């Protein structure tokens, strides 16, 4: 009989990002290997505080020991607060915790500060995380940055388990055209505004293409207009898979500079397309793969990014060499290793 595996996922309704892609891919990869996998998803809302607490408790009171009289052999917790599920054979593959009360506390990216109310929420989440994660048979994370945060804030050890992006096996490289590509949800945390600002001082023949949608789009379009760059910045919104692969294949380089990223599919997608990455020096998980002047550029501000864009535009041979180096550094990452680790307790 096939082993039953429940993948637990906290879903923000109508929001789709890396965590959703991970869960979908994990489901498909488990099914390919003859596991009876199912995604168990609950809606997640973190505001107001009462709703955050309710979302946490919802996971605590779900019984996934069996379904329809048949034993569920394994549950896999992913992002906060789904790993709060209680089961005698729970493995956590941590996507991310509730970062607003950890590394983002008191920053422009968080609704929480150092007020007594915010700190009380932080303490509650911290206890939830410690208790929930500690009862896992195994704790893996998607990146070293996530592992480091878990050790720093919760004193819990974990093992990094990298996985490939959705279209592994289909990425390819074609031309090195005159555009910088940005892919991903348009949130403040992704800092696409820095790319637009850097374009102002780059060679006027260079353009940027922004694929993705999100709450910052209107602000970013206004910024491009204000800087006189509307004819050089193209917003595509959501793109289909084939178009995305083509965009990667023909760009000069990929800009990906989110603040303290957990992992970041875009890094892997760019490298598997043999394209260099342009990033910043505080991007967290991105820097686990991007090495300055080897497979991309790590800059500290928009002025430096402008110079790096110009250099790659006028030295496309270097862009090609960087892209090959990036490809070689990630081509070994596979789903086989991921599945072997996650299912170790039922094999």
Q: What is the pLDDT of residues 303-341, one digit of tens each?
A: 999 999 999 999 999 999 999 999 999 999 999 999 999
Given this structure, which CATH class describes domain 4-161? alpha beta
Cα(52)–Cα(44) distance, integer angstroms: 8
Integer Cα distance of 339 and 91 in angstroms: 12
310 class by beta-carbon count within 10 Å (0-12 exposed, 13-18 middle, 19+ buried): middle
For the stretch 32-76, pLDDT in tens is 999 999 999 999 999 999 999 999 999 999 999 999 999 999 999
Q: What is the pLDDT of residues 202-213, one digit of tens each?
A: 999 999 999 999
The per-residue pLDDT for range 252-294, each reduced to its tens digit, is: 999 999 999 988 889 999 999 999 999 999 999 999 999 999 9
Confidence of residue 347 (pLDDT cuts 50, 70, 90): confident
What is the percent of the chain where pLDDT is above 90? 95
Query: What is the band of 15 on the pLDDT scale with cuts at 50, 70, 90?
Result: confident
Q: Tell me the pLDDT of the chain averaged across its residues.
A: 96
Q: What is the pLDDT of residues 168-192, one digit of tens each?
A: 999 999 999 999 999 999 999 999 9
CATH of 179-330 given 3.40.50.2000, 3.90.1150.10, 3.40.50.720, 3.60.20.10: 3.40.50.2000
Is pLDDT above 90 for 17? no
Range list for CATH 3.40.50.2000 in the chain: 4-161, 179-330
Average pLDDT over residues 140-154: 96
Strand partners, 74: 5
SS3 label, residue 51:
helix
pLDDT at 340: 97
Cα 93 from Cα 155, distance rounded (Å): 17
| pLDDT of res. 184 | 93
Task: Single out the residue of 340, 344, 337 nearest to residue 164, CA to CA.
Answer: 337
Check residue 84 and give its pLDDT.
97
Within the chain, residue ranges assigned H as helices are 18-32, 49-60, 116-134, 144-154, 192-199, 217-226, 241-250, 265-272, 302-314, 316-330, 335-342
Confidence (pTM):
0.87
Residue 92: beta bridge partners?
77, 139
Radius of gyration of the chain, Cα coordinates, nearest whole angstrom: 21
Q: Which of 323, 337, 309, 316 is nearest to 272 (CA)?
A: 323
């Amino acid at each position: 009989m096939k082993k039953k595996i429940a993948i637990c996922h906290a879903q923000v309704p109508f929001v789709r990002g890396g965590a959703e892609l991970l869960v979908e891919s994990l489901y498909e990869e488990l099914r390919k290997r003859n596991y009876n996998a199912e995604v168990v998803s609950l809606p997640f809302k973190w505001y107001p505080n009462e709703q955050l607490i309710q979302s946490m408790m919802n996971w605590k009171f779900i019984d996934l020991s069996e379904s329809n009289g048949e034993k569920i052999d394994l549950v896999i917790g992913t992002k906060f607060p789904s790993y709060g599920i209680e089961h005698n054979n729970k493995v956590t593959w941590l996507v991310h915790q509730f970062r607003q009360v950890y590394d983002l506390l008191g920053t422009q990216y968080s609704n929480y500060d150092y007020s007594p109310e915010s700190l009380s929420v932080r303490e509650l989440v911290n206890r939830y995380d410690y208790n929930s994660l500690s009862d896992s048979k195994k704790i893996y994370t998607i990146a070293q940055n996530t592992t480091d945060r878990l050790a720093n804030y919760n004193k819990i050890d974990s093992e990094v388990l990298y996985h490939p992006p959705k279209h592994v096996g289909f990425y390819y490289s074609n031309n090195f055209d005159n555009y910088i590509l940005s892919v991903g949800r348009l949130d403040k945390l992704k800092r696409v505004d820095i790319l637009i600002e850097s374009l102002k001082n780059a060679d006027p023949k260079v353009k940027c293409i922004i694929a993705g949608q999100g709450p910052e789009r209107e602000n970013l379009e206004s910024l491009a207009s204000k800087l006189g760059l509307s004819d050089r910045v193209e917003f595509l919104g959501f793109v289909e898979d084939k178009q995305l692969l083509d965009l990667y294949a023909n760009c000069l380089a990929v800009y990906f500079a989110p603040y303290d990223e957990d992992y970041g599919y875009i890094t892997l997608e760019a490298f598997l397309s043999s394209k260099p990455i342009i990033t910043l020096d505080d991007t967290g998980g991105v820097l686990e793969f991007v090495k300055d002047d080897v497979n991309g550029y790590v800059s500290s501000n928009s002025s430096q990014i402008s110079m790096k864009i110009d250099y790659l535009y006028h030295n496309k041979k270097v862009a090609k060499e960087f892209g090959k180096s990036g490809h070689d550094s990630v081509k070994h990452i596979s789903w086989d290793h991921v599945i072997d680790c996650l299912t170790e307790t039922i094999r």
